[in-house]
Structure 1
Amino acid sequence: MAELFEYGYWGLFLASFLAATVLPFSSEAVVSLCLYSGYDISLTVVIASLGNWAGGLTSYYLGYLGKWEWIEKALRVKKEKADKVRNYLQNKGNAFAFFAFLPFVGDLIPLGLGLLKTNFYWMAFFMGVGKLCRYIVWAWLTIQAIN
């Protein structure tokens, strides 16, 4: 992670992007290191949010490529039950994208929403807002710790 810091804002973007995929990666350390080193707080938050958002969109796209038949077969779920869950989440699932910043389960949310083929624009909006809020809070906590 520290190696990415050497690339400045590009490294921050890449770290944030990777952290939003299913790869086990943390961008918070790079954000904190940038802020500790005197990087602009607003630009740091925006770049980290955009990188993390782009990584989440990539996960959504990977889920979009998936097929329900694979889930039904792999998890041995009956088609009727899978259809019931899919229909319920189809219209209500986009709001879950806000929580894509959460550790562990957050990376699976865009993947699942892609599989459900939810409305891309609403999903992207909610996910972007959630990720921006995450980095605003993290930057504030980091600045408080530095001071």
Structure 2
Amino acid sequence: MKKFLEEFKAFILRGNVLDLAVAVIIGGAFQKIIASLVDDVIMPIISLITGGIDFNNWFLAFDGKHYETLNAAKAAGVATLNYGTFLTAVINFLIMAFVIFLLVKTMNTLINHTRIKKAAEAAIPQSKICPFCKSEIAIDATRCPHCTSLLEENEKS
């Protein structure tokens, strides 16, 4: 039992497990933001465009009676098929997937830009070879520190 607990402790204290826990917590908070965006911003706009339709009140009552709202059907204790709520969840998912796509695309662009910038900086020569003693010297040197030869200003290598 003690060995099992030690293995569990080692597993929990690994960096990737802690990173995963943080990601799950932030993901849950992010999901709440997206749910609010859909419920409080996007769905009212869609409702306005569709003439005031409330997707949350799209449901089928299994007792065969008509109820004005989902809350009225639930208050009556009737089993319901809530396809409007499902539609809202699908819209939540699509919006969250789109936002994550934009974040990943932005991060990839930034990472690629940084790589290109570093590669360009690495391509700029930082030194040159003295044409007289063949020692490596600073690119902007006008005199070789090794052989003290005077270098021409327009010399490239």
The TM-score with structure 2 as length reference comes to 0.30
Specify which structure has the higher proportion of helix: 1
Relative contact order: is structure 1 or structure 2 higher (C-alpha 8 Å, sep ≥ 6)?
A: 1
Larger Rg: 2
Specify which structure has the higher proportion of strand: 2
